[in-house]
Amino acid sequence: MRKKKRVIGLFFKQDREGFPEIADAIEAADYGAPAEFFRKEPSDGRVRLKPMDFAVSIGGDGTFLRVARLIGSRGLEAPLYGINAGRLGFLALGLPAQAVSDVSRILSGDYETYVRRPLRCEITSDGEGGKRFYALNEIAVTRGSSPRPVELYIRASRGELYNFLADGVIVSTATGSTAYSLSAGGPVIHPDVRCILVTPICPHSLYPRPVVLSENENIEITQISGGDAMSLSCDGTQDVKVPSGCRVRVTLDKKGVTVLRLGEDSYYEVLRRKLHWGEGAPGARDGAQ
């Protein structure tokens, strides 16, 4: 019986040195079964995608996040695997030298899957819907180019959460807890925890602290004072102006992005390696940090 051809999308910045060569190696390999590859830039724009069995991002976590947004915002169900040809690599865990063997393992079914739920965001005005956005890590609402802090009123589904003067606020998924939120003093949350994390950015008071909320909460952010338009970003990109008087509404999407895993190090081992936990600690030794 003839085997069905598998379709794989390769997403990477095609002008980056070394990235096309990784894609070339993946496409040239013999997997013992028919496979069709196509290449796309990891863009947030109107990129046309055809159905695929799975997607591979080649780059850093930024590329991984763009591809996740691209797949999720179009309602596709293609699982995603990341090859870390960038720097940090919390999400893209594959190594460039193992790219061909990793794709071979996925094609043979030797992988695990897990689902990471993204955020959906909408800017509204006078009760009317407006622009919609999508983020796997976080939605950040900040003072933008203004040198002055803004006064924010933040409400959850079950009542008022904050009213403070700050540089902004981050609404994050558990996946994004190791990104911008961590830099702003938020906690590390295991990605299997279904929740929403709200982290103030440089509040002008010691009292507003990061809060972990239920996955079912709806977060609404309103600018009380500050005058200038705020800025909204999704996973560190898509800088959008939020005019005074508008509201930013954020919810956890009910549909998640499926991520492929090949039995790499545990999440805790990745944390220790990427964040350098235990290095130089008194009594630390090889294999027991």
- Tens digits of per-residue pLDDT, 145-176? 778 888 999 999 989 999 999 999 999 999 99
**Burial class, 49, CB count within 10 angstroms (exposed 0-12 / middle 13-18 / buried 19+):** middle
What are the average pLDDT values for consecutive 10-residue runs of the chain, which has 289 residues?
Answer: 82 92 96 92 75 94 90 84 84 92 95 92 77 91 85 92 93 95 95 94 91 95 81 89 88 91 81 77 48
Residue 124 and residue 246 in contact, taking contact as beta carbons nearer than 8 Å:
yes
pLDDT digits (tens, 9 = 90+) for 19-61: 999 999 999 999 988 999 999 988 766 677 888 999 999 999 9
Cα dihedral 222, 224, 229, 235, rounded to 10, equals -40
Q: Which residues are catalytic?
A: 61
Cα–Cα distance for residue pair 168/77, rounded to 1 Å: 33
Nearest one of 112, 106, 111, 81 to 29, comparing CA atoms: 106
Mean pLDDT for the chain overall: 87
Whole-number pLDDT of residue 288: 41
Tell me the whole-structure pTM to 2 decimals. Answer: 0.88
Residue 117 and residue 215 in contact, taking contact as beta carbons nearer than 8 Å:
yes
